[in-house]
Chain A
């Protein structure tokens, strides 16, 4: 029983930390630039594909991840300079339409370059088995994901709260006009933040690639979850993104694991097996609705 609870908690943590990598970039872009970027998931997909290609070329997973992060950051910067910059002043509908078009373009581009079938991206052989910690088994690769996710969370915290760049970012998030008036190059700041968010996307894509599948359209399902996370956490807040990610990760994992058996206690097995998985998949949306009911601005609103 302890094994089960601990393992599920770690699973939730692992899923949550990966969501955080996506949500961190998304919440900064949304919070600071007031820009809804639906193509965030496409950057995640691009990162996964580039990691697969670079890993294959270099025969090293670490090199693959590094190259993918760098390349996706450049791609993100180019995207921001050429296209997204023009959308900041527009309303949200125009932004949604334009970035939705980007999703379609990105998916088709990936199909044209790599084909419709998933491309292989495997974790290093040394990490393909389980680790045994005093009789407790856990997949080594998932443990690595938890480690990387936690490290990035700490680095981001230091970066945002203890550096000058982080100060500008926070200032930009709470009052853009005032920040500009203080002589900070907000244009450049936006490009840097966007490229940084893209690199985090690539990291998430590369880390999740071996666990899930590197395929066209992989960004959409996770993008929805990332939006749920930033709405729960409060738009523009890194701390909110972290707490929101962990909440969503744990609620989703525990819901899937425990809900069907919990329901079968007081419903017939037939109904429980039908209703359980269905309810588990909407559980995080119920969580979001509940949080928005009591905290309409999210848990840690940036402009509070």
Chain B
């Protein structure tokens, strides 16, 4: 009896000891769950985030901070319930170390709580809801792109500067769309003759365009990501409205994915962005050249965000020397942001959203005759979001 008892005790001690050791030891590999919208009207956005992220993984030789990285890609189909199932699987089965990729804010808000409760870091490469920038800010959410309002604020400021007097706003009826209108109006103080809310995913804008025609605005600002924007611009031009109203959009509705689908009708359209493919820095040149080589198209801002999300994870894992279970140290490393972004420099605010410059771009023909974006100038320098004061990061 006795020897067996001792044996059991000894074995138990060994087991406990080894498991403690395992927890403290440096990790030998890590997993990233990339949940994004890869089908439906919003697919272009998610595909670019994924491709940008994967290009960074390739540039890093498949390693984050020296550790071999496994990236698990799942399509959320732009449906919150599908996203919730995927997150469940990421957390319980795959036990991922980081999550990234979500495009749409309504999906981000739906899956945020379980991710943050499990103390898993979410590195957003797109969705930047005002909630997570303000009262609901959390140590486990980082956004490498922008707060939802920011690009709209930049357009609002430019439209204000140019002295437009009568503006119509168009956005889908969802959190991101409401943020867009609020953001635009924060810096444009002139007359808004109508705010038109459309259904998310709507593809036919005949009724809205007739309404715009009757209002005779001198500028139209719209925020319709992905396929929605493609259809809106096409139908706007087909209705002959571009002769009377100048079209403005945030960079989302006027980037390479949309240009590829619409083409020449977009010439002369103004839009805002925190990044552009013609930005003159070594990291960006390498990113743009290799993206074109690998995927045969120019990268969009979404691709740049996906790329930066991967670089942030890489830098943080390197800083903590692979000790991924020390959440406090990992958080500090993420906040420190020891990498060079393709957009030039930016830093994280106390709410983990970027403080950065915003630029105005115009769509024109480049030296090779391609229709593409050209950077015109800076609208905001070191611009922070409007919600940071409400965030008491614990």
Residues of A that sit less than 8 Å from B by CB: 1, 3-4, 7-8, 11, 14-15, 111, 116-118, 120, 128-130, 132, 137-142, 211-213, 215-217, 253-254, 256-257, 260-261, 273-274, 276-278, 281
Contacts and interface: CB of A to CB of B under 8 A. Distances in A.
B204 A15 contact: yes
Contacts of B346: none
B44 interface: yes
B214 interface: yes
Nearest to A18: B204
B210 A111 contact: no
B71 interface: no
Given A3-B213, A128-B265, A261-B194, 8 more contacts: A116-B38, A116-B39, A116-B40, A116-B47, A128-B237, A129-B238, A138-B239, A256-B208
B207 A257 contact: yes
A126 to B, nearest CB: 12
Interface in B182-214: 194-199, 203-204, 206-208, 210-211, 213-214
A215 B210 CA distance: 26
A217 B194 CA distance: 32
Interface stretch (B9-17, B227-235, B269-277): B227-235
5 contacts: A117-B47, A211-B235, A212-B204, A213-B41, A260-B196
A139 B209 CA distance: 11
B240 A117 contact: no
B75 interface: yes
B392 interface: no
A281 B198 CA distance: 10
A240 B193 CA distance: 40
B178 to A, nearest CB: 9
A213 B47 contact: no
Given A128-B238, A137-B240, A215 B214 contact: no
B288 to A, nearest CB: 21
A213 B43 contact: no
Given A130-B238, A213-B203, A260 B197 contact: yes
A142 B206 CA distance: 9
Contacts of B213: 3-4, 7, 137
Contacts of B261: 118, 120
B8 interface: no
B204 A118 contact: no
A139 B210 CA distance: 11
A142 B211 CA distance: 16
B210 A4 contact: yes
A257 B40 contact: no
B44 A117 contact: yes
A137 B207 contact: no
Contact of A116 (B75, B207, B231, B237): B75
B227 A116 contact: no
A213 B230 contact: yes
Contacts of A274: 173
A83 B59 CA distance: 51
A216 B43 CA distance: 11
Interface of B: 38-41, 43-44, 47, 75, 173, 194-199, 203-204, 206-208, 210-211, 213-214, 227, 230-231, 234-235, 237-240, 261, 265
Nearest to B43: A117
A39 B284 CA distance: 47
Most buried by A among B41, B196, B206, B261: B206
A118 B214 contact: no
Contacts of A141: 238
A4 B265 CA distance: 24
A13 B377 CA distance: 45
Nearest to B172: A277
Nearest to A211: B204
B221 to A, nearest CB: 16
A48 to B, nearest CB: 12
A3 B212 CA distance: 12
A212 B214 CA distance: 23
B210 A7 contact: yes
A213 B39 contact: no
B216 to A, nearest CB: 11
Given A120-B261, A213-B41, A4 B211 contact: yes
A118 B239 contact: no
Contacts of A213: 41, 203, 227, 230-231
B207 A8 contact: yes
B49 to A, nearest CB: 14
A116 B77 CA distance: 10
A142 B38 CA distance: 30
B43 A116 contact: yes
Contact of B239 (A15, A139, A254, A276): A139
A137 to B, nearest CB: 5
Contact of B206 (A11, A118, A140, A273): A11
A139 B75 CA distance: 36
A115 B173 CA distance: 28
A91 to B, nearest CB: 30
B201 to A, nearest CB: 8
Nearest to B202: A256
Contacts of B227: 118, 213, 215
Nearest to A254: B207
A261 B227 CA distance: 26
A252 B66 CA distance: 57
A105 to B, nearest CB: 16
Nearest to B38: A116
A137 B231 contact: no
